[in-house]
Chains A and B, each alone.
Chain A
Amino acid sequence: MIKRTSHRAPPLLLWGAALCAAIAAIPLVYLVIRIGGAGAADIWAILTRLRTWETVATSVGLATVVVIACLLISYPTALLLTRTKLPLRRLWFTTVALPLAVPSYVAAYAWVALIPGMNGFWAAALILTMVSFPYVLLPLLISLRSADIGLEQVARSLGNKPVAAFFATTFRQSVPAAAAGSLLVALYVLSDFGAVALLRVDAFTRVIYTSYRASFDRTNAAVLAGMLVLLAVILISLERKARGRSLRFRADKGVASSRLPKALTPVLSALSSLWFVAIATISLAIPVISLLIRLGEGTRRPLDWAELLGAVANTAWVSALGAVIAVLLALPIAALASRFRSRSASTIESVSYSGLALPGVVIGLSLVFLSINTVPFLYQSFVLLAFAYAVLFLPKSLGASRTALENVPPALGQVAQTLGYKPLRAWLYTSGRISWPGIAAGGLLVMLTAMKELPATLMLRPTGFDTLATELWSRTELAAFGAAAPYALALIVLAAIPSFALSRGFLTNSKETMVNA
C-alpha cells in the first residue's frame, strides 16, 4: 500500500537516529576541538606540504587498486558460486568469509616472515586485497542470488548476447551491493596502519602516526586525520550515488524467477576449482602456514596457556559486547535510512560512517579525551572499550541492518498497526523480526572486526586487561615472533568462528524469500 515515502519521518525516530549518529560521531567532535586549537598558519603549512599529498596519493592509489582487485576477484567468484554447479560448492560457500578472520597486520607479518624481501605498494595491495575481498563478495552473493533472472531473459529476447544481457541487467542490479562492499574496503585500506607499516609503504596513516609518535603533536595529527575524514565523506557520497540510482531496479513485485545452476565442462570445473583453491591458499593457507613455521621456532619463555586462554576469553566477550552495542546504536539509523529519504536522513547516515575512515589511534584518543572529561568513572573500563568498538565499527552494522530493513515492505508494519499493535511494537514484530538475520549478520561482522582491533584497545582497555591483539602486539614489539605466533593463530581461529557463522547463515538462508502476491 504505502511505498517509499512522501511521509516525513516520525520525530521520535529522527531524533533517536540523530542521537545515535551523534554518538558515533564522537571522534569527529574530538577532531574539531583539536583542529580548532591549530593556528591557521599551521594548518596551511600541513596542507601545502608536498609530502602530505604524496602520501595521500599513495593511500588513495592503494585503496583504488585494492577495491578494483576485490571487485575482480569477487564477481567471478560470486558468479561461480551462485550460477554454476561448481564442485564442492558447499565447501567454498562456508569458507568464503574466512579471510576476514585474518587481521591485516598478521597477514603482512606472516608473509614477510615467509618472504623476507616482500614489501612495497604492490605487496600491500595484494595482502590487503586478500584479507578484505569478502566485504565485497558477501553482499554481491546476496545480490546475485536475488537478482531477477527474468530481466536477463527479456534482454536476451531483445537480441543481446548472454554476456551483454548479463551486464545490462543483473550486473546493474548488483552495483549497490558492490558499491557498499567497496566503500568498506576503501575505508579499511585508508585507515590501516599495521600492514602498510610492516610492508614499508609510505601511506597517509604513517604520517598521522608519526605525528603522534614523534612530534606528539596532536593538533597536527588531528588536521591530518581531518583530511582522512574528508576523503571518507567523498567516498561515502560516491557510494550513495551508486546505490541511489539502482534502487529503481529492485523488483517490488514477484518472486525472482528461479534459475537452474549451469553445469560446467570438466575443463571449466577444474579451472574454477583451481581459482578457489588459489584464493584460499593466498588468503588463508599461506599466512597460517607461515605462522605455524614461526611457532616452531624457539621462544625464550614457554607458552602460558592460562594467559592465552584468558586473552581469548577477554577478546571474545568485549568484542561481543561491542557488537551488541553497535547493533543497537545502528538500528534507529538503519530504520530511518531504510524508509525515509529526506536530507536529514542521509546526513545522519553519512555522519555515522565517518568513523570508519579514522585510524584506531584517533578513535582511541578521542574517547580518552571525551570520556575522561565527561564520564571519568567509565574511563578505562570494559564497557568503554566495548563502546569504542561500537563507535569504530558501527557502519558495518548500519549497512547490513539497513539493507535488511529496506527489503521489508512498509505495508507489513502498517497492517500490524491496524491489528492493534502500537507503532514501535508493530515495527519490532514485523520489520525487526523479519530482518533479524541481516541485522545479526551485521553484528557478527562488527564482532569479527573488533577482535582484531589494536590501537584503540591499547589505549582504552582496563589496566591489566589483554586481548589477543594486544598480547600479539607486545610480543612483536620485542621481536619475540615465535612467542607471538600462538596468539596470532589463536586470533585467527577465534575470528574464524563468526566468519564461519556468516558463511553458514548464507547457506541455510537460501530458501527464504519475501512474499509478494
Chain B
Amino acid sequence: MSLPRPGSTILTAVASIALLLPVLAACSSDTSSSDTGSSTESAGRAELVVYSGRSEELVGPLFEEFTAATGVTVNARFGDSAELAAQMLEEGDRSPAQIYFSQDAGALGAVEELLATLPESVTSLVPEQYRATNDTWTGVTGRARVIAYDPQSVLADQVPQSVFELTDEKWRGQVAIAPTNASFQAFVTAMRVTQGDDVTQEWLTGLVNNDVQTYEKNGLILDAVDSGQVQLGLINHYYWYEKAAEVGEDNMRAQVAFMAPKDPGSLVNVAGVGILKGAAENSAAIEFVQWLLSPGTQEWFVNNTYEYPLVEGVASAEGLPKLGSLAGPDIALAQLADLPGTLNMLQDVGLL
C-alpha cells in the first residue's frame, strides 16, 4: 500500500512554482552576501551589513531613520545576540557582517577577536565603564536590573531592597530568575567581582534551596509575575516598560522596583555595538556607531525602549531613577569578562 495521495493539483502547483522561485528570489534579493566586510557602492549609495541581536520590531524604525539621515542603506540581519555571535565566530573573517549590535555585553565580549578597535571619535562619547577595556566595543544604552513584584501579594514597601534578602524563607518558591539569560549571568559575575566567589556561591545555593523558579527569558518572568505565578522576579527594567507600552500601563499587574544602590542587584548592563575588523576603515560603519551615540538617537532610545542613555547630556526617561544614582556595584562592565567562571558556578549549584 502506498501512502496517501495528496491532492495532486495542489502539489503540482506548489512543486512547479517552488522550482521557479529561486530564480525570482535570486533576482530580487539584494543581499551583499558575496562581500566580506567592505561596503558596496551602488550608484553612489553605501550599504551597511548589521547583525543585530536587538529585534526588528524595536530597532527597525531606528535603522530606517539612519538611512533617511545619511543615505546609507542598512541591511540588517536580526537574530538572538548569542546565536549571532556563534554564527559570526563560525563565519570567521569571511563574515559579511560589518556591525554587530548586541543585546548584551557578554556576546560582544565573545566576539572581541573579530572586532576592530573603535576610533576615539566614538570612544570619547561613552564613559569608560561602559566600554570594552581594549575599546573593541562600546555600550549604547543601559539597562538596570530590577525586581518585578506582584502588588497583589507584595506591598511596595515589602519589596526586598537587596538581592540577599531573596534567600529568606518567606520568599520560598516565589522568586523567579533566568539563569540562561545573559543579563542574569552578567549580574552574577558582578556579584562575584564585588562580593567574592564564596559569598556568591552561598547566595546561589541559598536560592536553590529556597526553591527558586527558573525561566528561560526575562519576558517570561515578567509574564509569570504579571499573572501571579510568582511574587518576585529578577529582570531588566525595560521589559516592564515595553510590555506596558504593548498592552497598556493600566493592564499591567506586575510592578517594578529598583534595589538599593551599590547592591549587586542594581547592576547596570548595556546593549552595545562593535565594528568588525573588515569594516574598520569603513566610514559608513563609523558613522553608524557615532549616530547610535548621538543625542538624537539616545533620546530615541529613552522614549521608545525606556533604556538609559549612556551619553552625557541626555536625560533618562521620566519616572526612572537617574543612572548616576543607580551607580550599581562599583565595577566596569569590562570586568565582567569572566563568564566561564560564572557558568561553572551556576552549573555547580545546579542552575545551569
On whether A and B touch (CB less than 8 Å), the answer reads yes
**Which A residues have a C-beta under 8 Å from some C-beta of B?**
49, 51, 112, 116-117, 138-139, 142-143, 145-146, 197-198, 200, 206-207, 209-210, 212-216, 218, 297-301, 316-318, 320-321, 323-324, 361, 364-365, 368-369, 372-373, 376-377, 379-383, 386, 400, 403-404, 407, 434-438, 440-444, 447, 455, 458-459, 462-466, 470, 474-483, 497-498, 501-509, 512-514
- Choose from B15, B85, B223, B352 the contact partner of A210 (Cβ within 8 Å): B352
- Choose from B7, B214, B251 the contact partner of A200 (Cβ within 8 Å): B214
Given A51-B352, A509-B2, 19 extra CB contacts under 8 A: A138-B3, A142-B1, A142-B4, A300-B246, A320-B18, A372-B92, A372-B95, A376-B34, A376-B94, A400-B3, A403-B3, A407-B2, A436-B5, A463-B76, A477-B55, A478-B58, A479-B222, A501-B10, A504-B7
Q: Mask for B201-228, Cβ within 8 A of A = 1, else 0?
A: 0000000000001111101101110011
Q: Mask for B318-338, Cβ within 8 A of A = 1, else 0?
A: 000000000000000000000
User: Quick check: A462 and B33 within 8 Å, CB to CB?
Assistant: yes
- Choose from A139, A206, A458, A479 the contact partner of B180 (Cβ within 8 Å): A206
* Cβ of B42 under 8 Å from chain A: no
User: Quick check: A444 and B80 within 8 Å, CB to CB?
Assistant: no
CB-defined contacts of A320 to chain B, threshold 8 Å:
14-15, 17-18, 21
* Cβ of B157 under 8 Å from chain A: no
Say whether, besides A116-B224, A320-B18, A215 and B340 are in contact (CB < 8 Å). yes
User: Quick check: B219 and A476 within 8 Å, CB to CB?
Assistant: yes
| B interface secondary structure, majority | helix
Chain A to chain B contacts (Cβ below 8 Å), 9 pairs: A214-B352, A215-B340, A437-B3, A440-B5, A441-B4, A463-B76, A477-B55, A479-B223, A505-B4
Among B23-31, B124-132, B289-297, the one that faces the other chain is B23-31
User: Quick check: B216 and A198 within 8 Å, CB to CB?
Assistant: yes
User: Quick check: A368 and B90 within 8 Å, CB to CB?
Assistant: yes
CB-defined contacts of B22 to chain A, threshold 8 Å:
321, 382-383, 386
User: Quick check: B11 and A440 within 8 Å, CB to CB?
Assistant: yes
User: Quick check: A216 and B4 within 8 Å, CB to CB?
Assistant: no
* Cα–Cα, bound, A509→B57 (Å): 46
CB-defined contacts of B248 to chain A, threshold 8 Å:
298
Among B115-123, B164-172, B237-245, B264-272, the one that faces the other chain is B237-245
User: Quick check: B90 and A218 within 8 Å, CB to CB?
Assistant: yes
**Which B residues have a C-beta under 8 Å from some C-beta of A?**
1-8, 10-11, 14-15, 17-19, 21-22, 25-26, 29-31, 33-34, 49, 55-58, 75-80, 82-83, 85-87, 89-92, 94-96, 106-107, 110-111, 180, 182, 185, 213-217, 219-220, 222-224, 227-229, 239, 242-243, 245-248, 251, 339-340, 343, 347, 350, 352
* Cα–Cα, bound, A506→B76 (Å): 44
User: Quick check: B82 and A216 within 8 Å, CB to CB?
Assistant: yes
* Cα–Cα, bound, A441→B56 (Å): 36
- Choose from A209, A376, A380, A501 the contact partner of B6 (Cβ within 8 Å): A501
Say whether, besides A382-B26, A479-B246, A377 and B90 are in contact (CB < 8 Å). no
Residue among B5, B55, B95, B110 having the largest count of chain A Cβ atoms under 10 Å: B5
- Choose from B15, B180, B242 the contact partner of A324 (Cβ within 8 Å): B15
- Choose from B26, B77, B90, B219 the contact partner of A478 (Cβ within 8 Å): B219
From residue A249, how far is it (CB to closest CB) to chain B in Å? 14
Say whether, besides A381-B31, A381-B33, A474 and B246 are in contact (CB < 8 Å). no
Residue among A372, A373, A479 having the largest count of chain B Cβ atoms under 10 Å: A479
- Chain B residue nearest to A461 (CB atoms) is B77
CB-defined contacts of B49 to chain A, threshold 8 Å:
463
10 nearest CB pairs, A to B:
A437-B5, A320-B18, A506-B4, A505-B4, A213-B82, A146-B1, A438-B3, A479-B219, A116-B227, A505-B6
User: Quick check: A299 and B17 within 8 Å, CB to CB?
Assistant: no
From residue A243, how far is it (CB to closest CB) to chain B in Å? 16
User: Quick check: B3 and A441 within 8 Å, CB to CB?
Assistant: yes
CB-defined contacts of A318 to chain B, threshold 8 Å:
21
CB-defined contacts of A436 to chain B, threshold 8 Å:
5
User: Quick check: B11 and A365 within 8 Å, CB to CB?
Assistant: no
* Cα–Cα, bound, A122→B33 (Å): 44
Say whether, besides A444-B11, A478-B219, A502 and B87 are in contact (CB < 8 Å). no
- Choose from B11, B79, B220, B229 the contact partner of A117 (Cβ within 8 Å): B229
User: Quick check: A317 and B75 within 8 Å, CB to CB?
Assistant: no
User: Quick check: B347 and A49 within 8 Å, CB to CB?
Assistant: yes
Residue among A380, A436, A444 having the largest count of chain B Cβ atoms under 10 Å: A380
* Cα–Cα, bound, A51→B350 (Å): 7
- Choose from A377, A480, A481, A502 the contact partner of B33 (Cβ within 8 Å): A377
Say whether, besides A479-B239, A480-B246, A497-B10, A382 and B182 are in contact (CB < 8 Å). no
- Chain A residue nearest to B215 (CB atoms) is A200
User: Quick check: B180 and A474 within 8 Å, CB to CB?
Assistant: no
- Chain A residue nearest to B248 (CB atoms) is A298
Say whether, besides A299-B246, A480-B246, A505 and B5 are in contact (CB < 8 Å). yes
- Choose from B30, B55, B185 the contact partner of A464 (Cβ within 8 Å): B30
CB-defined contacts of B21 to chain A, threshold 8 Å:
317-318, 320-321, 382
CB-defined contacts of A300 to chain B, threshold 8 Å:
245-246
Say whether, besides A218-B90, A464-B76, A321 and B31 are in contact (CB < 8 Å). no
CB-defined contacts of A365 to chain B, threshold 8 Å:
86-87, 90
Residue among B19, B85, B90 having the largest count of chain A Cβ atoms under 10 Å: B90
From residue B52, how far is it (CB to closest CB) to chain A in Å? 10
User: Quick check: B19 and A321 within 8 Å, CB to CB?
Assistant: yes
User: Quick check: B2 and A368 within 8 Å, CB to CB?
Assistant: no
* Cα–Cα, bound, A351→B11 (Å): 28
User: Quick check: B3 and A298 within 8 Å, CB to CB?
Assistant: no
From residue B207, how far is it (CB to closest CB) to chain A in Å? 16
- Chain B residue nearest to A484 (CB atoms) is B57
- Chain A residue nearest to B30 (CB atoms) is A464
User: Quick check: A463 and B77 within 8 Å, CB to CB?
Assistant: yes
User: Quick check: B246 and A482 within 8 Å, CB to CB?
Assistant: yes
* Cα–Cα, bound, A377→B220 (Å): 39
CB-defined contacts of B33 to chain A, threshold 8 Å:
376-377, 379-381, 462-463
